[in-house]
Amino acid sequence: MAFEITDTNFQESVLQNNGVTVIDFWAEWCGPCRMIGPIIEELAHEYDGKALIGKLDVDTNPEVSMKYGIRSIPTILILKNGQVVDKHVGTTSKQVLANKIEAHL
């Protein structure tokens, strides 16, 4: 299951993570977010132990969303060692996201 990222645990779980972190910025009411949700869950399972795959609800966690200028959802950020190395806005295929993750592992 994808890790739940919040404003509270962001510093410790993402910025202090010496590895690859994938964050799915989403909201319950967002149709495209619900479409990509199962893909994120599959990637979380497949990359368990290799990368932290998480979801951040923009409605309940406005600080991180504002920090990264998230204006459209779903937005996927890929961070390595706490720095943004890739970004994808909108829906996409599992293979596209897997390729982006692999490029930074």
Segment 76-91, tens digit of pLDDT: 999 999 999 999 999 9
Task: Give me the active site residues, please.
Answer: 30, 33
Provide the pLDDT for residue 95.
Answer: 98
**Are residues 14 and 85 in contact, defined by beta-carbon separation less than 8 angstroms?**
no
- How do 51-57 and 75-80 pair as beta strands? unpaired
User: What total of structural domains would you count in the chain?
Assistant: 1
For the residues of 90-103, what is the DSSP string, one character each? S---HHHHHHHHHH
How many CB atoms within 10 Å of residue 53? 27
Instruction: Report the Cα–Cα distance between both ends of the chain, in Å, rounded.
Output: 20
* Contacts of 47 by beta carbon, 8 Å cutoff, 6+ apart: 22, 53, 101
**Domain housing 58:** 3-104
CATH number, residue 7: 3.40.30.10
Segment 28-49, tens digit of pLDDT: 999 999 999 999 999 999 999 9
Mean pLDDT to the nearest integer, 92-100 = 97
CA Rg, the chain, in Å?
A: 12
Cα separation, 89 vs 98, whole angstroms: 15
pTM of the model: 0.96
